[in-house]
Structure 1
Amino acid sequence: MKNLQPGDKIAIVSTARKVSSEEMQSAISVLQSWGLEVVLGETVGADFHQFAGPDELRRNDLQRMLDDPSIKAILCARGGYGTARILDHLDFTKFAQNPKLIIGFSDVTALHAHLYKLGFESLHAIMPILFPREGSEAAIESLRRILFGDEISYNAPIHPFNRFGTAEGELVGGNLSILHTIIGTRSDFDYSGKILFLEDLDEYLYHIDRMLVHLDRCGKLENLAGLIIGHMSDMKDNTIPFGRNAYEIIREHTARYNYPVCFDFPVGHEAHNLALVCGRKVKLEVGESGSELNYI
């Protein structure tokens, strides 16, 4: 991955839910203040039900940015749903000749997984739709630091569910629901020896349990090097309560393993969503004073 320089072009496309050009203005202003030239894709402003245009338009828009060597990074405008619908029809041949960071989170987890399977790094980070959100300053700054090659070190406070230890491995993960749905597809990958991070939004607690059971039965949790749990936001329950919150569910399904586990890491659907490079080797240290994550 090449660091960005002032004057470089960064594209904004929407691989999933629709966005307006007005909703992109805050992010455009910030990116321009960093010295970057912003190129808007045809999907910005496109409207097809809840999507940013039909599958063909979203696929062609992303493909054009993947193929264009003058584009040095690609920001996905927002999540929602729809990225997985276009993955299997993308051609990464020209992208492989001039790799660039693809940035986003939530539904974009499917694209991160696909890129990791192909051998490329990508960036799990705040998306343009969320730049105006109150409290997002640290998330935006972490994106800038990674794009321009600044050193990154993250800390998380102590959490009573943490399991102490130190681990090294490639960092993978993202949205639990998306990772769950790509198991068995061509975007799926081996979790063994990896440091996995998970986050999710607006799920029923029994869904969280069901997905953790599935990941565990598929062997995804057994051979991790380490586990990082981020935001589990706006969880829902049934009339008859499930009886455990999201963190308690995750602790239950990982209790028999020995790798370090960090809970309450600042990644996910809250405003404090720090940028993480998927596919890059990291060192995770979980101890009595909290957790620390550093790139190696």
Structure 2
Amino acid sequence: MRVAPRKLERGDAVGVIAPASPPVAERLDKAVEYLKELGLRVKLGRAVGKRCGYLAGTDEERVNDLHEMFQDPDVKAVICACGGYGTGRIAERIDYDIIRNHPKIFWGYSDITFLHIAIQQCTGMITFHGPMLSSDIGKEDVHPLTKRSFQQLFHSMTLSLTEDVSPLETIVKGKAKGRLIGGNLALLVTTLGTPFEIDTREKLLFIEDIDEEPYRIDRMLNHLKMAGKLSDAAGVLLCDFHDCIPKKRDESLMLKDIIQDYIVPEGKPALSGFKIGHSSPNIAIPIGAEGVLDADKKQLVIEPGVS
């Protein structure tokens, strides 16, 4: 069952948590000011300023922050400060009944991908793959479209992504529809064989990544292929693969070669070039919402993610 969270209104409170790595304090402060400019009140999780190696606090502390924000009736959205590493560690500790019984906007990307998939598998609630506070909004040179993505939280709007945003390339012709599922490729692969394994059946699968050499992208797509995730999908969206170029090898396949090897043979409508993920701009999209991919017209249309 698909559940769309309620949209935000000016004056609403949003909770900021760091379920993975710790945010850069200066950037987070700047991003919080942006949320206030949008007319929102901000509540920081208890663990946001904590450190436990490469984690923002212990697993228990980070889970407690997530639980508290979803249970707090004053909080209307839960926004992740940054990614990094750590959400896979807490997935089994989360009480998904809390999320199911208190549906609200959940927003983030990168390492947050594991939580998006877990929430999808356990609750059916629409979540948002979108720019984060410390990682994106707190930077000096934020693209206007990155900031504008937050407007999706205030309005029940249909998204139409075309070449008006970025050049798109048809990889496989055709038209497909289905709910959106996906995120960071490296994180999607880590769900395989777990209770939170990504389900791509009759869905539009979108993938993105950063700083992964072509041989690593090759390995991960091969893993998805052997697990049946590419053949199960209705269509494929190839988003930004920032700096995914050869670095260690003098001779290498390139990303375009790997796409030809894995995506084209599946014969599913596929379109590449979307500025979704580790990119500038970083366009937010609602995971779990119904979408229509038209690879011939180079267009992706997505239903509203909020009600």
Which category of TM-score, normalised to the shorter sequence, fits these structures?
over 0.9
Amino acid of the structure 2 residue aligned with 1:270 = S
Q: Please point out which of 215, 235, 248 is paired with 1:206.
A: 215
Equivalent position of 1:266 in the other structure: 275
Contact kept in structure 1, 2:184 and 2:208, CA below 8 Å: yes
Q: Aligned with 1:51: secondary structure? A: coil
Q: Give 1:164 shift.
A: 2.1
Amino acid of the structure 2 residue aligned with 1:123 = F
2-structure distance, mates of 1:33, 1:238: 41
Q: Give 1:213 shift.
A: 0.7
2-structure distance, mates of 1:123, 1:294: 12
2-structure distance, mates of 1:267, 1:57: 30
Q: Aligned with 2:244: secondary structure? A: coil
Q: Please point out which of 103, 117, 138 is paired with 1:99.
A: 103
Q: Give 1:52 shift.
A: 0.8
Contact kept in structure 1, 2:168 and 2:274, CA below 8 Å: no
CA shift in 2, pair 1:126/1:239, >3 Å:
closer
Determine whether 1:221 maps to 2:211: no
Equivalent position of 1:143 in the other structure: 150
Amino acid of the structure 2 residue aligned with 1:101 = I
Q: Give 1:62 shift.
A: 1.2
Question: What per-residue deviation string (whole Å, max 9, x for no partner) do you get for residues 193-238 of structure 1?
Answer: 1000000011121111011111000000012111001111122425
Q: Give 1:152 shift.
A: 2.3
Contact kept in structure 1, 2:162 and 2:168, CA below 8 Å: no
Q: Aligned with 1:103: secondary structure? A: strand
Determine whether 1:11 maps to 2:7: no
Q: Give unmatched runs, 5+ long, in structure 1.
A: none
Aligned residue runs from structure 1 range 238-253, under 5 A: 239-241=248-250, 243-253=252-262
2-structure distance, mates of 1:11, 1:71: 6
CA shift in 2, pair 1:21/1:239, >3 Å:
closer
Amino acid of the structure 2 residue aligned with 1:8 = D
CA shift in 2, pair 1:205/1:242, >3 Å:
farther
Equivalent position of 1:49 in the other structure: 53
Q: Please point out which of 131, 134, 147 is paired with 2:137.
A: 131
Amino acid of the structure 1 residue aligned with 2:43 = V
CA shift in 2, pair 1:187/1:3, >3 Å:
same
Q: Please point out which of 77, 80, 83 is paired with 2:81.
A: 77
2-structure distance, mates of 1:143, 1:264: 21
2-structure distance, mates of 1:22, 1:132: 8
What is the root-mean-square deviation of aligned Cα atoms in Å? 1.8
2-structure distance, mates of 1:280, 1:53: 32
CA shift in 2, pair 1:146/1:153, >3 Å:
farther
CA shift in 2, pair 1:239/1:86, >3 Å:
closer
2-structure distance, mates of 1:275, 1:24: 19
Equivalent position of 1:189 in the other structure: 198
Q: Aligned with 1:28: secondary structure? A: helix
1-structure distance, mates of 2:161, 2:72: 33
Amino acid of the structure 1 residue aligned with 2:149 = S
Determine whether 1:113 maps to 2:122: no
Identity within the alignment, %: 32
CA shift in 2, pair 1:252/1:146, >3 Å:
farther
2-structure distance, mates of 1:241, 1:16: 34
TM superposition score normalised by structure 2: 0.90
Q: Give 1:76 shift.
A: 0.7
Contact kept in structure 1, 2:169 and 2:273, CA below 8 Å: no
2-structure distance, mates of 1:116, 1:207: 26
19-28 or 38-47, which deviates more: 19-28
TM superposition score normalised by structure 1: 0.94
Q: Give 1:258 shift.
A: 2.1
Q: Please point out which of 57, 62, 68 is paired with 1:58.
A: 62
Equivalent position of 1:280 in the other structure: 289
Determine whether 1:169 maps to 2:178: yes
Equivalent position of 1:38 in the other structure: 42
Q: Aligned with 1:247: secondary structure? A: helix
Contact kept in structure 1, 2:96 and 2:119, CA below 8 Å: no
